Amino acid sequence: MSQIEDRLGRALDAAAETVRPEDLRPLAAPEAGTSRRRAARQWAPVAAVLMVVMVVAGAVLVTRQNDQAPDKRPVSAATRYLLALPPAEGPDVHDRARIVDPHSGRSLQEVSVPRGVGRWSGAAGTADNRTFFLLGSPGDGEDGPDRLYRLRIDDRGRTVALDRLPGGDLPGMSVGRLTASADGGTLAFTVDASKGPDRPGVALTVQKVASGHRRAWDLTGYAEYLSLSADGRRLAFAWFSSPHGDGVRVLDVDTLAGDPAAWGRPVVSVPGPLDEVRNLWLRADGRSLLVESAQTSRARLVEVAPATGAVTGTVLERTAFNVFCRSADGRYLLLTTGTKMQWLDTRGGRAVPVRDTGNVTGREVVC
């Protein structure tokens, strides 16, 4: 028993001792002329008990609230958070999305799905790390459209607003990555456009956030690892099972021809100098690529020049690692090496250990 609960018990006992038994007997109908003063005297002990209960209970409530101490973590506009989605499959697939502190691994806020949405299936971040985009999909075995939402949080990672984007439902089932430009003005995603199990295809789609206006290109095969430049004008992705050659492409969205056959060859062929491509991101200016590639004995994070396809630098090379996400400003990487998780600053090379409390592993994470 807590001290407050003990005080409450003693106060109730003391108040009860002031009540005389005769005061608690059933009252007879009042005679004419019974004074208000007498009635007040009869109810005074009961009122005293109620007053004590209210005061002490109020103290308990205040203490309970104080036990949940206000969040006094040092934060600023530079404080960064992760957005972790539920696992793609398994018993936790319908979990809420979580805002996670990357240093402690602690979940600060949970984001429920709106009415009509079964689960969160995709997400993308922006450079300010206060605006995220979420893709809502039907639950397993349910029919319904995929929908896009914008999530805004404050400097402490708390939800400010969750709003549905203009543009209406997605024109099909979303497949692959949802990506956003760093300025938060443009989204890119793919929806299923297969014509059968042996004829895979996707509709590569770019959407303006403010207006909901969309442009789409039908591709044979699979478009993966979508990434936009900071202003949303350039789009990079890896195109596999393509009739025009597998590899990484970097395209100008505003001038992109409607027929993919006119796009030419990829800037980097796969397989090729990049080994197995596992992920890629456009730099903010859209003039260089950051590519995660791997072989049996090594994993690399390399810089690639889209104009030539040449590897111009190595950011990271180890026996094995996995990049969970890259921040939209291009500076930070959340990665694992063996059993360790790290928050890597690519400018200075400083890696800060991340304590995973079960909020990150096995989930899609957005920086």
Torsion of CA 317, 132, 136, 169, to 10 degrees: -120
Amino acid at 212: G
pLDDT per residue as tens digits for the range 13-48? 554 454 444 444 444 444 444 444 444 445 455 455
Q: Which of 177, 193, 130 is nearest to 280 (CA)?
A: 177
Q: Is the pLDDT of residue 215 over 90?
A: yes
Length of the chain: 367
> For residues 307 and 154, what is the distance between their CA atoms, to the nearest angstrom?
39
Q: Is the pLDDT of residue 4 over 50?
A: no
Q: Which residue has the higher pLDDT, 320 or 233?
A: 233
Residue 97 banded pLDDT, cuts 50, 70, 90: very high
Q: For the whole model, what pTM was predicted?
A: 0.77
pLDDT per residue as tens digits for the range 128-179? 999 999 999 998 778 889 999 999 999 999 999 999 999 999 999 999 889 9
Measured CA angle at 334 (ends 329, 340), to 5 deg: 160
C-beta separation of 317 from 300 below 8 A: yes
- What residues does 147 pair with on adjacent strands? 136
207 DSSP assignment? E
pLDDT per residue as tens digits for the range 240-270? 998 888 889 999 998 888 888 788 778 887 7
Exposure of 2 by Cβ count < 10 A (0-12 exposed, 13-18 middle, 19+ buried)?
A: exposed
Six token digits for residue 189? 């995603």
Six token digits for residue 337? 């090496």
Contacts of 258 (CB under 8 A, 6+ apart): 217
Domain 82-366 listed as CATH 2.120.10.30 = yes
Contacts of 361 (CB under 8 A, 6+ apart): 341
